[in-house]
Amino acid sequence: MQKLLYLAAACGLAVTTPAAAQQAEKVDQAMIAKIKDEGLNRSQVMKTAFYLTDVCGPRLANSEGLKRANEWTQKQMALWGLSNSKIEPWGDFGRGWDIEKSYVAMTAPYYHAMIGAPKAWTPSTNGVLKKQVVLVKAATEADLDKYKGQLRDKIALMEVAQEPKTTFTADAKRYTDEELQKMAGPAEPRPAREGGDEAARSAMRARIALRTKMVDMLQQEGAAAVLSTRGGSHGTFFTSNGAPYAADAKPVLPEIEMSPEDQLRLIRLVEAGIPVELEMETRTRFQSQDLKGYNVVAEIPGTDKKLKSEVVMLGAHIDSWHAATGATDNAAGCAVMMEAMRILKTVGVKPRRTIRVALWGEEEQGLFGSRNYVKNHFGDPATMKLLPEHEKLAGYFNLDNGSGKIRGIYAQGNEQVQPIFTEWLKPFADMGATTVTPRNTGGTDHLSFDAVGLPGFQFIQDGLDYNTRTHHTNMDTYERLQADDLKQASIIVATFVYNTAMRDQKLPRKPLPQPKS
């Protein structure tokens, strides 16, 4: 049965013609006016963002914060009148992890409170530690030998790979007209590098291998804890996981990631021969009762007898990192997608196809929520064995590049959707959204759909300070959200979803990809 379905789907997807895609698009100007009015004058997008960030808190994969966010969004969408609002398991993920207490300060040669947070999935300290600091510097595995016998009951201080520099440009920026015009054209080929990407991958593997050896050595030598940094500037630090989330993960040392400025001060003092003492305490809690991951979904049912079994999807990931409240990454995207659904429900749309929103869990660890949803509902990219729902998806739209307004959309190499999206963007030229680029952008949940040949798309957004200040940092808070930008994005998403739900045909598809196994 699966083999027959695969062959039928493959044949069906291959015959979509450019001529069909070029047909004149029906754009309901009266409905767009209603969507704009509701989205601009009675928006709830910032209220939704407030609950996701300040009320629910950090939403690390399988944490208590993510559980709070899942429960709140499911109930909120049901209150708005959306149908089939539910928290849907996608499969096994691993342990949850939460911070109960985190504190770090230098106590000698003088007292100074420092900026930092525990790495995700690292254990608690054994109460309050007040220990001497030892600087650990190693370019090769052989360099680690000199620390034997020196680390017991000490706090290991790691090097700073890249020192923060004074900047003379603003953190935040918007796309210029020239940049958008360039994006609308074909992508320029990247210049070939000597040794190619393999040299870079080899260097990265070597760094990871050395770091693994260093971690093992610190444990074997009896170090009490670790201080590290992934970079940043002006008190900003990037965060990550310091241990696997698998239930049977090997134990690691307590570790705090710090702002580079604080870490560099410690390094300078140690290198000057001045004894440094640190006080720190972390209390973290592992949750191993429920190892499953979840997505939150809700719908506006279709009304057309022939088309209501088909589905238009929109989505964003609801999980975040833990050093802040995940405002731009990605409460912003979730708030916009929820607001788009609220707008459509409030203005009373009667979509021909069913409209389904999904808030993806565990994206930060590898798009797990969306990848497994696609595998459970549509097909497996490893084998390209497709399920019946694969034929029923009309299109998927994603938002996951911060708080900036929508400036257009990535066509994901799908030439046939470009004239369609160009037509759909025309009513929003005065809002700054005009560009359809044939290119793809990586790292977001639309890739899960594209991997099985489904039309999945990410919008082009103004970058603002996403890549310089907020993405995976302790500064990713509610204050970084731009209300007018999120209102604009909600209106455009609602319109794209509505247009897809009302078309006579589903959005054109690219040929099916080859199995990835």
Gap between the Cα atoms of 214 and 514, Å rounded: 40
The half-sphere exposure of 75 on its side-chain side, counting CA atoms within 13 A, is 8
Gap between the Cα atoms of 452 and 510, Å rounded: 10
Place of tokens 């809700």: 298
Whether residue 104 contacts residue 280, with contact meaning beta carbons closer than 8 Å, is answered with: yes
| pLDDT value for 3 | 37
| pLDDT value for 239 | 94
Whether residue 507 contacts residue 411, with contact meaning beta carbons closer than 8 Å, is answered with: no
Whether residue 51 contacts residue 481, with contact meaning beta carbons closer than 8 Å, is answered with: no
DSSP, collapsed to helix, strand or coil, labels residue 395 as: strand
Which among 100, 91, 117, 90 has a CA at the least distance from the CA of 65? Answer: 100
What pTM was estimated for this model as a whole?
0.92
285 Cβ contact partners less than 8 Å away, ≥ 6 residues apart = 97, 98, 99, 100
Gap between the Cα atoms of 253 and 266, Å rounded: 20
Whether residue 408 contacts residue 401, with contact meaning beta carbons closer than 8 Å, is answered with: no
What residue type is 86 in one-letter code? Answer: K
DSSP 24-88: PPP--HHHHHHHHHHHHHS--HHHHHHIIIIIT----TTSHHHHHHHHHHHHHHHHTT-EEEEEE
CB atoms under 10 Å from CB of 480, counted, come to 23
220 Cβ contact partners less than 8 Å away, ≥ 6 residues apart = none
Gap between the Cα atoms of 52 and 76, Å rounded: 11
Gap between the Cα atoms of 69 and 338, Å rounded: 13
Domains in the chain, CATH or no CATH each: 26-93+291-502 (3.40.630.10), 99-287 (3.50.30.30)
- The strand pairing partners of 129, in sequence order, are 280
Gap between the Cα atoms of 178 and 99, Å rounded: 45
For the stretch 201-259, pLDDT in tens is 888 898 889 888 999 999 999 999 999 999 999 999 999 988 889 888 888 999 999 99
For the stretch 103-155, pLDDT in tens is 999 999 999 999 999 999 999 999 999 999 999 999 999 999 999 999 999 99
pLDDT in tens, the chain (517 residues): 433 333 333 444 434 444 444 457 889 999 999 999 999 999 999 999 999 999 999 999 999 999 999 999 999 999 999 999 999 999 999 999 999 999 999 999 999 999 999 999 999 999 999 999 999 999 999 999 999 999 999 999 999 988 898 889 999 999 999 999 999 988 777 666 555 678 888 888 988 898 889 999 999 999 999 999 999 999 999 999 888 898 888 889 999 999 999 999 999 999 999 999 999 999 999 998 899 999 999 999 999 999 999 999 999 999 999 999 999 999 999 999 999 999 999 999 999 999 999 999 999 999 999 999 999 999 999 999 999 999 999 999 999 999 999 999 999 999 999 999 999 999 999 999 999 999 999 899 999 999 999 999 999 999 999 999 999 999 999 999 999 999 999 999 999 999 999 999 999 999 999 998 6
Gap between the Cα atoms of 424 and 505, Å rounded: 15
Gap between the Cα atoms of 360 and 444, Å rounded: 11
The 8-class DSSP code of residue 120 comes to B
Gap between the Cα atoms of 208 and 238, Å rounded: 18
CB atoms under 10 Å from CB of 350, counted, come to 11
| pLDDT value for 195 | 57
Cα-based distances in Å from 199 to 190, 193, 203, 204, 206: 16, 9, 6, 9, 11
| Angle subtended by helix axes 332-346 and 64-79, to nearest 10 | 10
| pLDDT value for 197 | 75
The two tokens of residue 513 are 């990809």
Q: What is the sign, positive or negative, of the torsion defined by CA atoms of 479, 357, 321, 292?
A: positive
Prior bond to 455 cis, omega within 30?
A: no
Gap between the Cα atoms of 241 and 257, Å rounded: 10
Whether residue 110 contacts residue 275, with contact meaning beta carbons closer than 8 Å, is answered with: no
Q: Tell me the residue ranges of DSSP E strands in 411-511.
A: 435-437, 456-461
